[in-house]
Chains A and B, each alone.
Chain A
């Protein structure tokens, strides 16, 4: 079959167009889609690795501090926590010469591996004594903090106040067997 130049060009153009479209549909587009998914997965993996590296390095960095916290002050059980805080409160009250009229465990708040024990402490005295008591509490190494404070004047015109404090302390949950385990994990 002899084709004219025009027919030849049209046939070649049509053939090239068909080839291009076929190559696009059968090869290029699926390949690009596959690449996109692979790159996405790669990015996710890299992100996961980077986060993992960061976590592991942070763990190395802070495990010593955490060990100190566990070794020095963080109680291992509720009983130990109660005992520790009661002793501390009594000592601070004695040192500040501020009598405590009531110390009562109020509630237990559960965090993942830790528990928070809240006490309601009531006492009285001058502003100076109360301030000293609070200072001793805030500067302590124990895991203790005041969540609420309420002061009320007992007698008008006199430096005689009643103070009510909500104090909480932390201790390790029972699922964590011991401190070494907690550090290792």
Chain B
């Protein structure tokens, strides 16, 4: 089997930068080709999407990015998120309830927002036994369906689309970078916290039963002074531990297996890990490089060569480009929201191929067949017409044969009087010459025989005959002296009068 891959461009967008990585993504494989960070040059910003798109296109060209299909990852701070539990219902009813809840949950007018959600329920026992992590519509054990809802400002989406358009790219999906990472990271661990530490903000994701349940983010300023950062981390630890304890009914240790820490700051990894371990009282694993997902082959040679990108952002890019992440409905996608009327993508790749195949088959078989049938139809009509005409044509042929024979016969009548007239004009009357015999054939071949006192009169006659354009092929058959007389015979042809001759 041929392994099919396609080039995908993953873009993790931020306020003043875009982190780009291009990968060859297959069904269960991925190979990072190149990665680079685009920092917006002054005065370009998201407020000038066309300029930003043009500059970004130049950046992509410069770094050799060729992929047109783009997956966008949004920062968590651009999103409004909320978790809510709904009563059991079928999927359409549930969607209706979620729509109503979302419209009431956020302070901004619903028209200005784009919404999406996913089910954040704990799986049923049957799901767990089957290893099924995402069963939409399944019901939580405690009698409700827990839903993770998110909203994005519609304007932000439009700006991103305009930038992508100006850069000549086509956006295929738009999700939250942190959620992609949380969805991809260590899928075997069902209950965990994922802490993303960035220089300017922190993001905490609570994954319960393998599904993201909460997403928190708050601004920090870690890199400027490590002491201050440590103090802030400490404050946040207490706050989050309290919140999680309330949410989990003080059973943090029971529910949480591990805390994953992704360091995107200049703080030492080990220092940060120890700090977190002390605060949470649970094992903290430092995520250096995203582990392969189940059944996914991420090329071990994947490199971010030349790109100065920290571990956290590398992991985010890997998660964005992760095989199957586009199709994973566990995460958000504001371009294909579950709340939007589902536009059935009728033209799937297989259908396009099928249509192309059918079109090719049509061109190869149906078109020639149609042309052949049309020609046969035309031929049949012609044959019918010829058959209908046959009797009349035969009669007409007989008629025309007879009539043309008659015409031919009458046309070939020798015009004897005309020949005699031309001849009398050609014979000199002033010369002593006598004609004894004249013969005119059917083809107007004329033969003259006669006698004269001398050759002069005969020669004069010959000259006159030759000068007359009606007489051609004039030749002397004989010229004989017999005593005082000279006998002669001349043959020539009388030709038809032509227009030129008639004019003369």
Contact = CB atoms under 8 A, between A and B. Distances in A.
A184 B402 CA distance: 12
B364 A157 contact: no
A28 B219 CA distance: 70
Interface stretch (A76-84, A88-96, A108-116): A108-116
B1 A35 contact: no
Interface in A1-19: 1-3, 8
Contacts of B440: 148-150
Contact of B1 (A1, A41, A113, A116): A1
Given A49-B386, A134-B417, A153 B434 contact: yes
A66 B378 CA distance: 37
B438 A150 contact: yes
A153 to B, nearest CB: 5
Interface in B428-481: 434-442
B383 interface: yes
B439 A148 contact: yes
A58 B434 CA distance: 51
Contact of A38 (B375, B392, B417): B375
A52 B392 contact: yes
B415 A34 contact: no
A31 B369 CA distance: 9
B356 interface: no
Given A49-B385, A138-B413, A3 B2 contact: yes
B439 A145 contact: no
Contacts of B415: 138
Nearest to A11: B2
B142 interface: no
A102 interface: no
A119 B315 CA distance: 123
B301 interface: no
Contacts of B398: 113, 185
Interface of A is mostly: helix
Interface residues of B, number: 49
Nearest to A170: B409
A143 interface: yes
Contact of B371 (A35, A55, A145, A146): A35
A39 B375 CA distance: 8
Interface in A29-66: 31, 34-35, 38-39, 41-42, 45-46, 48-49, 51-53, 55-56, 58-59, 62-63, 65-66
Interface in A89-130: 111-114, 116
Contacts of B364: 23, 27
B375 A35 contact: yes
Contacts of A42: 375, 378-379, 382
A156 B365 CA distance: 94
B255 interface: no
For B375, B416, B417, B438, the residue with the greatest tally of chain A CB atoms inside 10 Å of its CB is B416
B413 A131 contact: no
B368 A27 contact: yes
Given A55-B397, A170-B406, A151 B417 contact: no
B389 A49 contact: yes
Contacts of B393: 48, 51-52, 55-56
A111 B405 contact: yes
B403 interface: yes
B414 interface: yes
B402 A45 contact: no
Nearest to A62: B403
B437 A45 contact: no
Contacts of A58: 396, 400
A50 to B, nearest CB: 10
B3 interface: yes
A69 interface: yes
Of B392, B406, B415, chain A has the most CB atoms within 10 Å of the CB of: B406
9 contacts: A45-B386, A51-B393, A52-B389, A56-B393, A112-B402, A113-B405, A143-B406, A151-B438, A157-B434
Given A145-B410, A147-B414, 18 more contacts: A3-B2, A23-B364, A55-B396, A55-B399, A55-B400, A59-B396, A62-B403, A66-B399, A114-B402, A134-B420, A138-B416, A148-B440, A148-B441, A149-B414, A149-B440, A150-B438, A153-B437, A184-B395
Interface of A: 1-3, 8, 23, 27, 31, 34-35, 38-39, 41-42, 45-46, 48-49, 51-53, 55-56, 58-59, 62-63, 65-66, 69, 74, 111-114, 116, 131, 134-135, 138, 143, 145-153, 156-157, 170, 182, 184-185
